[in-house]
């Protein structure tokens, strides 16, 4: 039997009743950064994303648009793919739950649970929010409306199959106990444990009041409850019920990234379903926070959704990727504002990083005809820089492994700031006026270029396009993709004599009228 040899990371699969907004892109970018980071460590990675198409929202959206549901899907799914492309998302697969490779194994899974007696027939009476695709109890509603979407819930009474979720309470609590990082961050873990301790009810496993969905194989007037079907994308995409060898090399997932609104499905229902089927559970479920607008979750339902392309067009792909991960502590809620994005772009990217690169490359061109100079032997003021680089690379590695993406990136920026400080202190532009100081200039320029090499590597998962440009400017022959961490970040990797080019500005400053920028910076 093959052993697991792949780091497997997933995004939720998105409801395609509308185009993506910043919230969806947030989950996807974070997952992409983690996937790229693990590839950079030399691991085999499988990164899955996709679309959740068996939801009632789909025929409803199609009807509102005067279209057939399948025609709707064929038109909307490419609009999601386009955004992922523009955001440089490096997924290895994109699963759609209407595909046969998903539907067939889902039916087999359902049959297996039914045959084991894990699923039984009953009647459901309750309240349902189609936006959440979830049942609610009366006391969970806010002013009689869905607590997440603020829209009216629907009264439902129908014949359903039920999954014996209630019988998994102890096994789930044992799972959280034995694997303290199964749910992260800790605050979310505590919420999940409290929820499960409060007692679990059996879960609706099928629906009968509509036909859009995956039919129950032994009773086709039922369709499988969309969440039961959707969660299985994580296994159907990697060979479950189809290619056992592949399945065993990839499953279980190392981490499912989800927003906190869908944590219970992933941390309670999903492991229980897998246990019922006799399959291994994922290693971790990480719930990030919400992007807020006016203090509330950004959403299309509330008309606060912002389309990612609006920001990508203005700031570029890499600045977009950087901004959300740096600005919002990963795991916590955070607000987006245009002003804070401009302020961060200009401060961190245009000034600290972009200017650093253009200054160092310009000096290399001016003083050494573009060639990486040979630094004189023996320690100089750059020894401290080398130490800071090593510390930053170490902290980056440790924080990224812990999925603390915000601090991982911050560690790299501590280094960026240190390089800037070093250059101001040594002032190679002043030394260059004195021919007797040629060695000191060579030392400083080498240190600057070597710092850029390390920065191009460390920032590559977050800003792949910028790193590729900087790498090309540095003229290093070995491909950036082959730089394996942690070794590649060790000081001294840049070879003297390498021919650099100045390249275009990495992050041209965004000019805003001064009043607006000052307001943003003060927020």
* Contact criterion met (CB below 8 Å) for 121 and 222: no
- Is 146 catalytic? The answer is yes
User: What gap in Å lies between CA 168 and CA 267, rounded to an integer?
Assistant: 12
d(CA 303, CA 308) in angstroms, rounded, equals 14
* Interacting residue with ligand MSP among 7, 8, 9, 12 (CB under 6 A): 12
Nearer to ligand MSP, 11 or 364 (CB): 11
Q: Does 291 bind ligand MSP (CB under 6 A)?
A: yes
Query: CB–CB of 412/326 below 8 Å?
Result: no
Name which of residues 250 to 289 contact ligand MSP (CB under 6 A). 258-259, 261-262
Q: How far is the CB of 58 from ligand MSP (least distance, A)?
A: 11
CA 217, CA 230: separation in Å to the nearest integer? 17
Query: For the window 50-79, what string marks contact with ligand MSP as x by the rule CB under 6 A?
Result: --x---------------------------
- Exactly one of 163, 240, 290, 491 binds ligand MSP (CB under 6 A); that residue is 290
- Do 488 and 457 meet the contact criterion of CB atoms below 8 Å apart? yes
Distances in Å between the Cα of 466 and the Cα atoms of 11, 316, 457, 491, 509 are 24, 10, 10, 21, 15
DSSP assignment of 111-140: HHHHHTT-EEEEEEEEEEETTTTEEE-GGG
**Total site size for ligand MSP, rule CB under 6 A:** 21
For helices 464-474 and 317-327, the axis angle rounded to 10 degrees is 120
Q: Which residues pair with 224 in a beta bridge?
A: 206
Tell the smallest beta-carbon distance from residue 334 to ligand MSP (Å): 9
Write down the least CB distance from residue 231 to ligand MSP, Å: 5
Q: Which residues make beta-bridge pairs with 13?
A: 50
CA distance 512 to 338: 11
**Binding to ligand MSP by residue 327, rule CB under 6 A?**
no
| 185 forms part of the interface with ligand MSP (CB under 6 A) | no
256 is catalytic: no
Instruction: Choose the stretch contacting ligand MSP; rule: CB under 6 A; options: 19-27, 119-127, 242-250, 457-465.
Output: 19-27
500 binds ligand MSP (CB under 6 A): no
Shortest distance in whole angstroms from residue 507 CB to ligand MSP:
25
185: preceding bond cis by omega (within 30 degrees):
yes
- Out of 196, 237, 253, 298, the only residue in the binding site for ligand MSP (CB under 6 A) is 298
Beta strand 183-184 with 285-288 is parallel
Q: Which of 21, 256, 260, 288 is catalytic?
A: 21
Name the one range near ligand MSP by CB under 6 A: 7-15, 99-107, 186-194, 423-431: 7-15
Q: Which pair of structure tokens corresponds to residue 290?
A: 């919400």
Which residues between 187 and 246 bind ligand MSP (CB under 6 A)? Answer: 230-231, 233
CA distance 258 to 227: 14
Distance CA 427, CA 440 (A): 10
Pick 161 or 336: Cβ nearer ligand MSP: 336
Task: List residues binding ligand MSP (CB under 6 A).
Answer: 12-15, 23-24, 26-27, 52, 230-231, 233, 258-259, 261-262, 290-291, 297-299
Q: Which amino acids are annotated catalytic?
A: 21, 24, 129, 132, 146, 149, 297, 300
């Amino acid at each position: 039997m093959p052993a697991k040899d792949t780091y497997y990371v997933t995004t939720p699969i998105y409801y395609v009743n509308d185009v993506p907004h910043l919230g969806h892109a947030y989950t996807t970018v974070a997952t992409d950064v983690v996937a790229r980071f693990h590839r950079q460590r030399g691991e085999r990675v499988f990164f899955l994303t996709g679309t959740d198409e068996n939801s009632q929202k789909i025929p409803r959206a199609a009807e509102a648009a005067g279209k057939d549901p399948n025609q709707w899907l064929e038109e909307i799914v490419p609009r999601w793919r386009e955004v992922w492309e523009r955001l440089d998302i490096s997924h290895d697969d994109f699963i759609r739950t209407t595909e046969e490779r998903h539907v067939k194994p889902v039916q087999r899974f359902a049959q297996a649970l039914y045959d084991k007696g894990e699923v039984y027939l009953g009647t459901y009476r309750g309240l349902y929010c189609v936006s959440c695709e979830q049942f609610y109890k009366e006391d969970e509603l806010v002013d009689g409306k869905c607590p997440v979407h603020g829209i009216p819930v629907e009264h439902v009474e129908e014949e359903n199959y039920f999954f014996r979720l209630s019988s998994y309470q102890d096994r789930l609590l044992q799972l959280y106990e034995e694997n303290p990082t199964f749910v992260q961050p800790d605050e979310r873990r505590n919420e999940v444990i409290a929820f499960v301790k409060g007692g679990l009810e059996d879960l609706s496993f099928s629906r009968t009041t509509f036909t859009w969905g995956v039919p129950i194989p032994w009773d086709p007037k039922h369709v499988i409850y969309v969440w039961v079907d959707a969660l299985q994308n994580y296994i159907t995409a990697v060979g479950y019920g189809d290619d056992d060898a592949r399945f065993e090399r990839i499953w279980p997932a190392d981490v499912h990234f989800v927003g906190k609104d869908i944590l219970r499905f992933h941390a309670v229902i999903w492991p229980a379903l897998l246990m019922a089927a006799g399959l291994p559970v994922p290693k971790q479920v990480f719930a990030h926070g919400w992007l807020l607008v006016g203090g509330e979750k950004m959403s299309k339902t509330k008309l606060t959704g912002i389309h990612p392309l609006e920001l990508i067009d203005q700031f570029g792909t890499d600045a977009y990727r950087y901004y959300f991960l740096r600005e919002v502590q990963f795991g916590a809620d955070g607000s987006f504002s245009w002003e804070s994005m401009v302020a961060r772009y200009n401060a961190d990217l245009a000034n600290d990083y972009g200017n650093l690169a253009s200054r160092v490359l310009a000096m290399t061109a001016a003083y050494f005809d573009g060639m990486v100079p040979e630094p004189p032997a023996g320690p100089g003021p750059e020894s401290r820089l080398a130490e800071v680089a090593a510390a930053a690379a170490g902290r980056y590695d440790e924080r990224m492994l812990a999925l603390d993406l915000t601090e991982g990136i911050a560690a790299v920026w501590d280094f960026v700031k240190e390089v800037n400080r070093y250059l101001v202190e040594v002032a190679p532009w002043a030394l260059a006026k004195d021919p007797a100081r040629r060695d000191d200039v060579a030392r400083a320029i080498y240190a600057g270029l070597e710092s850029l090499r390390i920065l191009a590597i460390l920032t590559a998962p977050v800003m792949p396009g910028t790193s590729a440009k900087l790498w090309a400017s540095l003229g290093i022959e070995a491909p950036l993709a082959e730089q394996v961490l942690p070794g590649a970040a060790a000081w001294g990797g840049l070879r003297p004599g390498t021919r650099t080019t100045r390249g275009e500005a990495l992050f041209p400053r965004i000019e805003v009228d001064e009043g607006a920028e000052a307001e943003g910076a003060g927020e």
